[in-house]
Structures are given as structure tokens and as C-alpha cells.
Chain A
Amino acid sequence: MLTWVALLALALFSGATFFAARGKALAAVGGRPLGLHSLPGYYGGYVALWVAVPAALILLLAAGFGGSLEAGLLRSAESSAIHAMDAQQKDVFYNDAITLSQGGQPSETIYEGPQKQALVAAVSKAEHLRRQITYGALAAAVALALAGVAFAYPKIRPDFRARNQVETWIAGLFILCSVTAVLTTIGIVGSLVWESWRFFQSVSPIDFLFGLDWNPQIAMRSDQYASSGAFGAVPLFIGTFLIMIIAMMVAAPVGLFSAIYLSEYASPLARSVVKPLLEILAGVPTVVYGFFAALTVGPLFREFFNGIGGLLIGGGLDGLGQYLSQVQNQMALVAGAVMGVMLIPFVSSLSDDIINAVPQSLRDGSLAMGATRSETVKKVVLPAALPGIMAALLLAVSRAVGETMIVTMAAGLQAKATINPLDTVTTVTVQIVTLLTGDQEFDSPKTLAAFGLGLTLFLVTLILNIIALRIVQKYREQYD
């Protein structure tokens, strides 16, 4: 709250300095802007930037990191009563102290004797620290704002290059924004690698990548049987692969043929109707596909296979009949088929672009030689577009591998190493979601395993994307 008031005050103050500096610049040339190096607004902007930016940064930093700083400082000096507690108790203790000092509801832990005294002391210390941090930041902001005026205001003279200075600030902002994308990558890679490294300290990477048993149950107590859990991810990889293959078997032919039809046969009118309709399919949120798979396609497929199974029981294929009549809702086929539907517009719009990029002269040449349209497509257009189409399919594969909601809602949780599409399988993304939803301790191998899986997923999709983008780039150059 105080931060908002301070920021508002700062905005008003820097606004005032803007007009003051602008006025000074104009006054220096007797109100004729032509005598100035830059437009008058730039002189105002120059001073206002020097006033506002450093002070606002301090205020925002204090608001964002003040809490962590307070907690750190609070922990730096601990009395003997706290020293006796274990790490977890300490966490609870300090959390309680900070919550109490903010007038909140502490945990239900009961503190007695010296601990109670320590808590009272810690609460008052936390209040004291918070006040110090808040007012310290305020004082620093005021000082910086005034320093900004003192630094920038005297510089205002008619020959001062204010525009260039302001543009330097803008360039800084530009670079800062562009670097955000890089920082995101660093954040992703850093957090995945760091947490996976912690995971691989308790589970060997060899066991993780090549182990055949996935059972991440961690015992509640350390002395319980099977306290370690099994983290062999091969069944997950197989499950992911199986669902991806099923999805591609739906998406690749349907997407590719619709792209060919749209670009080679369809009239402009049909094209203008069908393309937006396919785009709707692409815009439907994945959670909707998940709902559709779980409550419509799943039961439908189960009934279908159970029906076939019922017919086969007692006949020559009795074994198969028995199996089919017990097929469950959550088969790989359901998740894969629905994911395939989701990928159709993705494949078709990418292939459409690529087919359209094939020069018309190639088609004309082939048609002039007497080839039919389909022969032109099969023998000329497709071979020419092949690298691009491969790239489009690779991108679709990477999408299928990383897709989460459909499989979370429609595929199962059992980690089975099977390639039977009627069986229940689980995927990497499903396991990440299951391992991380709900309240979990952040240092157990169970939660860290999710980051190991995340790192694998990230690397696989990254490699697929890099290959695909390379191919597309090469292909574009070929016809440019």
C-alpha cells in the first residue's frame, strides 16, 4: 500500500519536473523552440526519467524482495532456543514470527518456555526489520529522486542534446525487453537443470533413463518398506511415443490431404470458408479436447470394443474376445485419436503454407507436359515440398509429445511398457502433473523427478524444433 502511494507521489513529482525542465528550456531561448537542439518535450523527459526511474526501481525492488530480505535478516541471528530446533521446525518458527508480526494467523504449533520468548523477540524483531526496510527504501527513493533533479536539471541548456539522451534511455528499454526472452530461456534451462541435478543425486541418471520400473511412491516414514520408490522412465517414454504415433496416424494423413485439396483443388470460395473453420479447431482449448476425450470418445470406444469382444467370446477367438470385453475407458487409442484431431489444423496450415511456396512454374511445367493434377501433386509438388512437410510433421510431433491436458484427462496413470493401443499407458506430461499437483515437499525425489522428466521433455522438443526450423530455413532459401 505504502509502495503504491510512494509510486504515485513519485509519478506526480517527476511530472512536475517534466514541466519545470521543459519550461526552463523554453525560457532559455525566449519561448522560441527553434533555438533548441531538441523538441522542448525531450528536455522535460530527460529530467523526468532521471527522477523517476532510479527511485521507482528502488521502491519496486523493496516491494518485491523486501520479504526475502526480512526473512534472511531475521534468521541471521538465532538464539539458543531456536538453535536446538531442526530445519523444518525452524522454517515453521520463522514463518510464524513473520505472520504474527503482520497480524496474521500463525500455524498451530505450540511454543513453550524459551521458545515462546524467542518467538516474541522474533516477532518484534521482524516488525522492526520490516519498518527499517520500508522506510529505508522510501528514504533512498526520495534521495535518488532529488539526486536526479540535482544531476539533470542544471544540464538543461539550449545546446544540450536532450533527444539523444532520451533515446539512449529508450534504447536501454528496448534491449531490456529483448533480453527478457533470453532470460526466460535461461530461467527454464537453469531451473530444470538445477532441480534435475538435485534429483540425480538421489537417483542415478542411468536408472532414470533406462530403468523399466516407474513407481514414484515415497514412503511416509524413512524406515518404511520400499522407501526409495522406483524412477525408471522407460515406460513413460514408451507411453508418450505410443500416443504420439497414434496421434500422428490421425493428423498426418487428414491434415496433409486437406492441405493438398485446399491448395490445389479448392475454389477460392471453398478455401475462404474451410480455412477459418479449421482454424476454429486449432483455437479450441486443449482442456476442451480433454473433456471430449474423457467423457465422449472414451466411453464410445470402450462400448465399441466391448461389443466386439462380446461377439467373439465363445468363438475361435475367445481369448481376444475376453480381452476386448474388458477394455477400459482410458486406453492409449482414445487420447491418441483426440490428440490427432487437435493436430489436424496444425499440420494442415503448416503444409498449406509450404505447398503454396512451391513455385507455380513447376506446376505449369508438369501440367503442360500432359500430367494430370494428381500426378503433378504426387510427382512434382510433393517431392519439392517434402523437406518442408517433414518439418511440419516434426513440429506436430513435438506438439504431441508436449501436450498435457488431453492425456491428463483421458490417458491413465499406470506406467506400463506396452505398445498395445487398447491398453492404459501414461506419459511424461501426465506424470509431471501428477507428481506436482497438490501440496508436496519440495525436496523429496518424488517432486524433483518431475523436473527430471521436464528436462527430458524440454530437450526432446527442443531438438525436434531445431531440426524442423533448420529444414524450413534451408527449404525457404531454395526457392527464394
Chain B
Amino acid sequence: MTDASMSTSATLRQRVEARLKVRHAQERRFRAYGLAAIFVALAFLTVLLGRIVSQGYTTFVEYSLTVPVYVDPARVDRTDISGANFDLLIADQVLAQMGIKDDDFGTQSSKMMDILSNDLGFQLLQKVKGNPTLIGKTVSVTGPVRADGALYYKGEIKTSTPEDERKLDNTQLQWLDKMKSTGMVSSGFNIGFLTKSDSTEPEQAGVWGAIVGSTMMLIVTALLAVPIGVLAATYLEEFAAKNRWTDIIEVNINNLAAVPSIVYGLLGLAVFINWLHVPRSSPLLGGLVLALMALPTVIIATRSALKAVPPSIREAALGVGASKTQTVFHHVLPLAMPGVMTGAILSMAHALGETAPLLMIGMVSFVPGVPEGFTGAATVLPVQVFIWENASERAFHERTAGAIMVLLVFMIVMNLAAILLRRRFERRW
């Protein structure tokens, strides 16, 4: 009997132990899946950001050419300064400096003009126009190398690719090498990318216009969405009686928060442009549309901040004779403010990155400059990214990544501000 029971218990024990092994293996596998999932997600994040930085950091390196130009009185007419071809003048001088003789057809100088930015000619024109006594003297100008030339310096255009498949031919590449080795071309931080606005020439295109446009648009959005959102949330949370109407408003707000952003673009097009005639592609219009989009998130964030304020505060204020309105404005709202501001900043950061609705309301147009005002044509950072991504020239791809880096810096600053605000003022009751 003891034998039998011992053998069955042994087999049971063995079975349990065998089963336990399987179960522990399952446990380890399950755990590994979880770790793998997190690893995959973080790997995506690293690849995404790494790829953008690796594509974009070269935007911030600029190759600029400094050349003394003799403003030849024979070629620059004192009475018609704008009529002179300064680009050709500069190209000829650069060629002369490198000891290259141009032929009668000007093939060499037109090749040279292809690697020099027309910004140089424009600068010279401005200088001479401002001070005509410069004619007959030597003026030094500094300006960027044309985008294709810069791509060669950055290693994007390689000598190994066959000559007819790249934009620059062998002569031009030799010139570029020579210009760099003789010190005519020097590299430096591309401040122009941050101070100039959009341009058809990649080497002259910058994000300043888009930064100003984004700022103006966010001002409109914040001025509308934050006060309206905070007041609406306060009403729903502190004042409104629970009835059918407030229920409808609540359901409404929850659903609005999940409406695709592009639908807000359609709303802007139909209501603001076609009905109210708000000027197309203006910061005012963009701000209005984004304010409607941000409103539900501001309301939801404010409500949760208000919910976190303990009822004892309200009761104490009411107890010493404050009215309901005074209680809310003097005590509850100030205490909820850190949470409210955190939510507001986060929804503004979201609005800053939003693109789709702005495409609907005509913000995709080319705007070469800083917006003239709240009703003038403007472009904003994410749309600038979209426009450059669509550009066929390769040099714009690098600028796209550069613009994304600027955009991400703004997002990080706003998010950090929100986090710091929360850390600094967070209160546990």
C-alpha cells in the first residue's frame, strides 16, 4: 500500500514538476514578449529621432564664399545700377582669382554661376545701390555656395557617381575643391537658416517666416482656446446642475476631442472662409481653426485639475460667507491653475505640430517673408516641413529635416515647461 501510494505521489510530484517547468518557461516567454515590445517601441523612437538628426544636422553647416569684387565701371552703369549683371561679374572675378580664362561663349562663367548663390549678386547690388561711389572700387562680398555645391562639400554628391547622373560636372567639382583648399570658401554655423524666410533657392531658404507665423497663430489659438476652455470647464464642473443639457454638452466635448483634425479643416473652409470671409492662409484663420480643435482638450484638462481640488476648500470659503462665484474665482481656480496651465501648454504644443487642417485653409502657399499681420498670408513650421518635403530638389530634403529639428526643439521646450510647472507647483492634498 505504502509502495503504491509512494509511486503515485512520486508520479504526481513528477508531473507537477514537469508542468511547473513548462509554466515557468511560459512565464519567461511572456515576460520576454513584454520586454521586446518596449524595446521595439523605444527602438522606433531612437531610429526616428536619430534619422532626422542625421539627415538634418548638415542644414546648420553653411559653406560661404568670400570674394573681393572689383566693381568694373565698364560693366556697371552708374545710371542703371539694377541693369548690371552682378552674378556674372562675381563669377568672372572668382574665375579670374582661380586663374581660369573664360571662353567667348561664357561657358565657364555660366558654370561658375551654377555653383554660386545669386545671394552674392543681390548683396553686391544692394551695396552698390546704397553707395554708388563703390563703382570702380573693390568690394568684398560674403554669401553661400549654391545648394548643390554645399551638398558636394557635405558628401551627398560624390565624385564616384557617373558625371551625367549628378547635377555638377567634373570641372565644377574641381573648382569647388580648389575654392575650399584656397580658403575662399569657409564653413560655419548656418545662422541664415534661422533668420531667413522661405525661398525658391534652397541655400537661401530659412524658417524664420514659419517661426513667426507659428507664433502668431499660437497667440490667436491660446487667446481663444484657453479662456473659453477654462471658463467652460469651470461652469460644467462647479456650477452646472446635472441635467440633460449638461449631459449633452459633456458627451459633445468628449466626442469633439476625438474628431479627426482634418474635419476641423473642412469646418474652417466652409464656415470661416466661405461664410465669414476670414482671409485665407492667415494666422487669424489658422488660429481660429486650431482653437476650436484645442478647446475640448483644454476643457478636459481643466476639469481634471478642478476635480483634484478638495471639496474642503470650497466648503471653507462658502462657510465664511463667500458667494459661489467668489469661491471659485478666489480659491478653487487659483489652486487648480498649475494643472490648468500644464494642460493648456500641452494642448498648445499639440496645436503647434498640427498640419492637416491648415492644408485645407490655404496655408500651403509659398510665402517668401515674415507674415504682414494677423490677416496677412503666413506659413507655419509643420506646413513648411510639408512644403519642403514635396519640393523636388534634393537640398530641400536636408532643410526639411532641419526644419523638423527646429519644430521638435519648440515642442520639447513647451513640454519641458509643462513638466517643470507641474513639478514646481504640484500639490498633494
A interface residues with partner B (beta carbon < 8 Å): 64-65, 67-68, 163, 167, 170-171, 173-175, 177-182, 184-185, 187-188, 191-192, 194-195, 253-258, 260-262, 264-265, 274, 277-278, 280-281, 283-292, 294-296, 341, 344-345, 348, 372-375, 377-378, 395, 398-399, 401-405, 408-409, 429, 432-433, 436-438, 442, 450-451, 454, 457-458, 461-462, 465-466, 469
Task: List residues of chain A with CB within 8 A of the CB of B258.
Answer: 395, 398-399, 461, 465
Contact A402 B33 (CB under 8 A): no
Which of the 9-residue segments B69-77, B194-202, B352-360 touches chain A?
Answer: B352-360
The proximity string for B residues 154-165 relative to A, scoring 1 for CB distances below 8 Å and 0 otherwise, is: 000000000000
Most buried by A among B255, B295, B352: B255
Known contacts A163-B323, A178-B232, A372-B26; A295 and B266 CB within 8 A of each other: no
> Given A182, A408, A429, A442, which contacts B260 in the complex, CB threshold below 8 Å?
A429
Tell me the bound Cα distance from A403 to B27 in angstroms.
Answer: 37
Known contacts A277-B45, A442-B274; A462 and B407 CB within 8 A of each other: no
Query: Which partner residue on chain A sits nearest B349 by CB separation?
Result: A283
Contact A285 B30 (CB under 8 A): no
Would you call B320 an interface residue if the criterion is a C-beta within 8 Å of the partner chain's C-beta atoms?
no
Contact B240 A432 (CB under 8 A): no
Contact B33 A257 (CB under 8 A): yes
Known A-B contacts: A257-B38, A287-B385. Give 4 more (CB < 8 A): A261-B38, A408-B356, A437-B364, A442-B274
Contact A285 B407 (CB under 8 A): yes
Task: List residues of chain B with CB within 8 A of the CB of A465.
Answer: 254-255, 258
Task: List residues of chain B with CB within 8 A of the CB of A185.
Answer: 252, 255-256
Query: Which partner residue on chain A sits nearest B258 by CB separation?
Result: A465
Question: Chain B interface secondary structure, helix, strand, loop or mixed?
Answer: helix
Tell me the bound Cα distance from A364 to B29 in angstroms.
Answer: 22
- Which positions 350-387 of chain B face chain A at CB distance < 8 Å? 350, 352-356, 359-360, 364, 382-383, 385-386
Contact A286 B41 (CB under 8 A): no
Contact A265 B31 (CB under 8 A): yes
What are 5 inter-chain pairs, A to B, with CB distance below 8 A?
A285-B407, A295-B55, A296-B51, A345-B41, A404-B261
Query: Which partner residue on chain A sits nearest B404 by CB separation?
Result: A288
Task: List residues of chain A with CB within 8 A of the CB of B231.
Answer: 173-174, 177-178
Would you call B244 an interface residue if the criterion is a C-beta within 8 Å of the partner chain's C-beta atoms?
no
Name the distance in Å between B380's Cβ and chain A's nearest Cβ: 10
Would you call B36 an interface residue if the criterion is a C-beta within 8 Å of the partner chain's C-beta atoms?
yes
Query: Which partner residue on chain A sits nearest B229 by CB separation?
Result: A177
Task: List residues of chain A with CB within 8 A of the CB of B259.
Answer: 188, 402, 458, 461-462
Name the distance in Å between A457's Cβ and chain B's nearest Cβ: 6
Contact B254 A286 (CB under 8 A): no
Most buried by A among B354, B359, B411: B359
Query: Which partner residue on chain A sits nearest B224 by CB separation?
Result: A180
Would you call B325 an interface residue if the criterion is a C-beta within 8 Å of the partner chain's C-beta atoms?
yes
Query: Which partner residue on chain B sits nearest A439 by CB separation?
Result: B362
> Given A64, A253, A281, A398, which contacts B37 in the complex, CB threshold below 8 Å?
A253
Query: Which partner residue on chain A sits nearest B227 by CB separation?
Result: A177
Would you call B253 an interface residue if the criterion is a C-beta within 8 Å of the partner chain's C-beta atoms?
yes
The proximity string for B residues 247-273 relative to A, scoring 1 for CB distances below 8 Å and 0 otherwise, is: 011011111101111111111011100
> Given B42, B240, B292, which contacts A184 in the complex, CB threshold below 8 Å?
B292
Contact B249 A181 (CB under 8 A): yes
Known contacts A288-B52, A292-B48, A341-B48; A274 and B37 CB within 8 A of each other: no
Task: List residues of chain B with CB within 8 A of the CB of A261.
Answer: 31, 34-35, 37-38
Query: Which partner residue on chain B sits nearest A251 by CB separation?
Result: B41
Contact A182 B355 (CB under 8 A): no
Known contacts A167-B323, A292-B51, A405-B355; A182 and B27 CB within 8 A of each other: no
Task: List residues of chain A with CB within 8 A of the CB of B263.
Answer: 188, 192, 402, 454, 457-458
Tell me the bound Cα distance from A285 to B231 in angstroms.
Answer: 28
Task: List residues of chain A with CB within 8 A of the CB of B37.
Answer: 253-258, 261
Contact B44 A341 (CB under 8 A): yes
Question: Chain A interface secondary structure, helix, strand, loop or mixed?
Answer: helix
Task: List residues of chain B with CB within 8 A of the CB of A188.
Answer: 259, 263-264, 266-267
Name the distance in Å between A182's Cβ and chain B's nearest Cβ: 6
Name the distance in Å between B415's Cβ and chain A's nearest Cβ: 6
The proximity string for B residues 232-243 relative to A, scoring 1 for CB distances below 8 Å and 0 otherwise, is: 101110011000
B interface residues with partner A (beta carbon < 8 Å): 23-24, 26-27, 29-31, 33-38, 40-42, 44-45, 48, 51-52, 55, 227-229, 231-232, 234-236, 239-240, 248-249, 251-256, 258-267, 269-271, 274, 276-277, 292, 295-296, 299, 323-325, 349-350, 352-356, 359-360, 364, 382-383, 385-386, 389, 397, 400-401, 404, 407-408, 411, 415
> Given B229, B239, B276, B382, which contacts A287 in the complex, CB threshold below 8 Å?
B382
Tell me the bound Cα distance from A192 to B263 in angstroms.
Answer: 9
Tell me the bound Cα distance from A440 to B152 in angstroms.
Answer: 41
Tell me the bound Cα distance from A254 to B397 in angstroms.
Answer: 31
Tell me the bound Cα distance from A188 to B359 in angstroms.
Answer: 17
Tell me the bound Cα distance from A257 to B350 in angstroms.
Answer: 26
Tell me the bound Cα distance from A285 to B381 in angstroms.
Answer: 11
Contact A178 B235 (CB under 8 A): yes
Task: List residues of chain B with CB within 8 A of the CB of A442.
Answer: 274
Known contacts A167-B325, A291-B400, A409-B389; A283 and B261 CB within 8 A of each other: no
Task: List residues of chain B with CB within 8 A of the CB of A408.
Answer: 356, 359, 386
Tell me the bound Cα distance from A296 to B240 in angstroms.
Answer: 51
Contact B27 A285 (CB under 8 A): no
Known contacts A184-B256, A341-B48, A461-B258; A286 and B249 CB within 8 A of each other: no
Query: Which partner residue on chain A sits nearest B276 by CB separation?
Result: A64
Contact B407 A374 (CB under 8 A): no
Query: Which partner residue on chain B sits nearest A286 by CB separation?
Result: B355
Contact B235 A436 (CB under 8 A): no
Contact A295 B248 (CB under 8 A): no
Known contacts A261-B38, A373-B27, A433-B360; A451 and B260 CB within 8 A of each other: no
Contact B232 A177 (CB under 8 A): yes
Query: Which partner residue on chain B sits nearest A442 by CB separation?
Result: B274
Contact A451 B266 (CB under 8 A): yes
Contact B31 A374 (CB under 8 A): yes
Task: List residues of chain A with CB within 8 A of the CB of B248.
Answer: 182
Tell me the bound Cα distance from A438 to B386 in angstroms.
Answer: 14
Tell me the bound Cα distance from A458 to B270 in angstroms.
Answer: 15
Query: Which partner residue on chain A sits nearest B356 by CB separation?
Result: A404
Tell me the bound Cα distance from A258 to B38 in angstroms.
Answer: 5
Contact B235 A405 (CB under 8 A): no
Query: Which partner residue on chain A sits nearest B299 by CB separation?
Result: A181
Task: List residues of chain A with CB within 8 A of the CB of B292.
Answer: 184, 187
Tell me the bound Cα distance from A375 to B404 in angstroms.
Answer: 44
